[in-house]
Amino acid sequence: MPGLVIANRRWIIGADDLIIPGFILLLAHSIWVAIYGVVAVQNGHPFLRVDCAHQLTYHLFGQLMLILGCAILEGCIIKVSFKGSILNTKARSALNALLYIRFGKKSFEVKNGCIN
């Protein structure tokens, strides 16, 4: 596979090398979404309760949305990585944009983690 070009640099990793790490991250984030869902159901939807501290409620809801967004984005990366072949690289042309979005989202996650 031809190497990915990100930030005007050709990397040794190819687009087909993102399937297994993407699947592992998708599985991990799906488990976290399930855990947040179980906590929400057992506690009577803590995101909507009035007696909950608002700051903690916003933090938990924000984390849930970030993890859910990561899971959706990783699913899209896996789907795009499955397309094409060695000679047909046009099918994976959207992968660079998805990776840029993922890197931008990661910087937002780090900023959110430091603030909270």
∠ at Cα 21 (104, 38), nearest 5°? 80
Tens of pLDDT, residue by residue, the chain (116 residues): 556 666 666 666 666 677 788 888 889 989 988 887 777 666 655 555 566 666 666 777 778 888 888 899 989 988 888 887 767 777 777 888 888 898 888 888 888 878 76
CA 4 → CA 60, 71, 78, 105, distances in Å?
35, 22, 15, 19
pLDDT of residue 31: 93
DSSP 29-64: HHHHHHHHHHHHHHTT-TTT-SSS-HHHHHHHHHHH
Q: What is the largest CA-CA distance in the chain?
A: 59
pLDDT of residue 39: 72
The Cβ-side half-sphere exposure at 63, using a 13 Å CA radius, reads 19
* Cβ atoms of residues 67 and 32 within 8 Å: yes
